[in-house]
Amino acid sequence: RGDVYLTENWLNIVTAAWDYERAEGWVKAYSNEGKGNWLRRATSGNADALNDYKLSGVRWREMLHLGEGGEITTGMDYDLMEGTSISVQPGAAPQRKFGPEKFRLVSAYAGWNQIWKSGEIEVIPSLGSRYYDHEIFGHATSTQAGLVVRRGSSQWHVSAGRAVKFPGLDVAAFSVVAIPALGQSWRSLGPETLDQYELGWKGEFDRDTTIELTLFRNEGKDRYVFVPPPPPPFQFLNIETFRTQGAELMMTTRPSDGLTLFGGVSLLETTPDDLPYSPKWSVVGGATWQLSSRLTLNVDGSYSSSQYAGSQARANGAPNTERVGAHALVNARLAYGLTDRTGRDRGEGFVAGENLLDRDYRYRPGYPMTGIGGTIGLRWKL
């Protein structure tokens, strides 16, 4: 707890955008750079870590309106990652320095969606693909497809897609300042992939009642980890897999003109069972009550079952040992609308309370969240 982590960050973005009858788009140039210095020698006896980083690039997107419900989206991204890391060892041990190192990633993408209507039936198909070219970790392609069908008060949707994640500068830096025995094995890594599948239904009924049911499954593979001997050598490999699957049910209803209620429940199953931030059960609910023409009360609550916390270690087969308990939270907000002499809306005054049950909870062991708290505020429109 005596360690100090000093950070500094600068983000600069320049954007040019255009909008025509049949086309619209933008191009952005950005630079995100800073420092992160972890000072530990004086408190825990570990090495200080002095880090500099910069992420910069150009991103372009164009949307073409085809008419009669059709649209094409295309674009290209150029991203440059660079950084250095210096490990200052305790005592007389020599420093370890990584970098400066640079990674370049270029990707191009295109997508299409179309709306077709026939009577009370509406069909919306969509397709998309993105191609990646990484100067170190090779090539990859991600694709996705979806279909939405509406008929009357019911809607069905199905989708499938692949997400791609390339290793960052961390694998190269870790091989120099943390475990030099890893050598240049990080250069043989490839991207991680996640295949995502979703099936859902939505129904609309009287009293503005909406019910939504969604089933989902995510399958990850080629997660990169470092593998110690035996057998040698000590190396990075793309070998781990994981899976999450579950269901989510949501409902919103308006039993009277001044009252709206919502609620939902989700069930999640993971493999392995110690994936972080994956509670088996989650429940949410709340209400918006228009007490008068000016007075509005919002109340919401949530419950999450116990779950593992912290990041999943990059060591092969390492168990996740951090766990936090189940907790329930209740919040509320009361607002009074403000108007001028002509009756025009000018803002609101409000009082809000968080964690009204004063629960002792945390999202990571050793870092308790705040107890009951409140806010009083005024929002005024000029």
Residue pointed to by tokens 């019911």: 154
CA distances from 147 to 153, 201, 238, 255 (A): 17, 12, 32, 32
Spell 218-248 as b/e; 16+ CB within 10 A means b. bbbebbbbbbeeeeeeebbebebebbbebeb
pLDDT of residue 1: 61
- Considering the entire predicted model, what is its pTM? 0.86
| 222 phi and psi angles, rounded to 5 deg | 65, 30
> 212-262 pLDDT, tens per residue?
999 999 999 999 999 998 888 999 999 999 999 999 999 999 999 999 999
pLDDT of residue 311: 85
What whole-number distance in Å separates Cα of residue 340 and Cα of residue 345?
7
Q: Which stretches of 146-294 are DSSP H helices?
A: 169-177
Residue numbers of the chain with a pLDDT score lower than 50: none
pLDDT of residue 343: 84
> 163-222 pLDDT, tens per residue?
999 999 999 999 998 899 999 999 999 999 999 999 999 999 988 999 999 999 999 999
